[in-house]
Structure 1
Amino acid sequence: MAIRSKFELDYDAPFVFETTFGNDDVYIGINYNEIGDFYTIDLYDAEFQPIIMGEKLVYGKRVWRRSVDPRVPAVDLIPMDESGKESTVAKANFGITVFLYIDTLVDETV
């Protein structure tokens, strides 16, 4: 059972979904690069204006970690596998064992 909140999505890329972080509505786009077998993530504001485009998803690393743009939500969004079996984000595992998680522990006793 997951101990972090994960995005339950159809991980067939490319796709775009809307979500809310705090008071910020944003759109997130996911794209797949067949040549390199990796995924990228795009961030758009509520009006679908691009903020960050084409950042590579790196296993276990917070997305948008290098950005200082105030429009980027202050959330730890991380591609990972809670079982610890995986170490990459690839077509063979993304949406199967590797998911996008909000890196905040969920209290399952509630």
Structure 2
Amino acid sequence: MDFEHIAIEKELVPYRFEIELGVEKYELRVRYNELHDYFTLDLLKDGEELVYGEKITYGVPLFSEIYDSRFPAPTIIPLDESGKETRVSWDNLSETVFLMVVNREDE
């Protein structure tokens, strides 16, 4: 199956960018914890912080534990299409592991 993915530009971390998810615009802030080798995302909509410090965990949909009508309609899941990776790290994010955007009708 062919998925759209969100590119993370590691050389810019920490940074923020706007993105359209579904039919709405959001802002994502990307951070990296060098000591423990993991990334986090903050999700904002219209300047309101919806989620702060969501850890990007392999195979686990982002923002899945907290959800209301302000959250994006598509699901975002960190995955490696080859199936070789089992975690998200500096070495593999946006190399072999991508933030896959899955629309509800694709699930």
TM range, smaller chain: 0.7 to 0.9
The yes-or-no answer on 1:60 pairing with 2:30 is no
Distance 2:74 2:80 in 1: 18
Distance 1:84 1:74 in 2: 25
Distance 2:100 2:15 in 1: 17
TM-score in terms of structure 2 length: 0.85
The yes-or-no answer on 1:94 pairing with 2:81 is no
Q: Name structure 2 gaps, 5 residues minimum.
A: none
Task: Indicate the percent of aligned positions where both proteins have the same amino acid.
Answer: 33
Aligned length: 102
Question: Where do 4+ consecutive residues of structure 1 move more than 2 Å?
Answer: none
| Cα drift, residue 22 of structure 1 | 2.3
| Cα drift, residue 48 of structure 1 | 2.5
The yes-or-no answer on 1:39 pairing with 2:32 is no
Q: Is the 8 A contact 2:76 2:99 kept in 1?
A: yes
Q: Is the 8 A contact 2:37 2:90 kept in 1?
A: yes
Distance 1:68 1:3 in 2: 26
The yes-or-no answer on 1:83 pairing with 2:79 is no
TM-score in terms of structure 1 length: 0.83
Instruction: From the two aligned structures, give the one with the greater helix fraction.
Output: 2
Root-mean-square deviation (Å): 1.6
Instruction: Give 1:15's aligned amino acid.
Output: Y
SS of the residue corresponding to residue 73 of structure 1 reads coil
